[in-house]
Amino acid sequence: MRKVRIHVAGRVQGVGFRYMTKMVADQLQIGGSVKNESDGSVTILATGEEQAMASFIQKVKHSPSPAGRVTQFELTEENELPDYSSFQVVYEY
């Protein structure tokens, strides 16, 4: 099980980025959450099997939303994250 925190910036708010990230996560059986940050970036917490996570990371890097564009990508291994059973869009900052 791989557990990561992903922080992305670019055109990632107001373009369906969170919802498309959730769709990709659900397809790949990735658990966790995605939320907008007040500075215009997006933070993703994700847990999943290694192969699924590798695919998820690549899709996030290239923006799961056709209208989005990721210009900054930072990934941190976060072994302390819980084992999420589903993936959720978080609405508050």
Which residues are the active-site residues? 18, 36
CB 22 within 8 A of CB 74: no
CB 77 within 8 A of CB 4: yes
Residues with Cβ within 8 Å of 56's Cβ and at least 6 positions away in sequence, in order, are: 24, 25, 28, 30, 46, 48
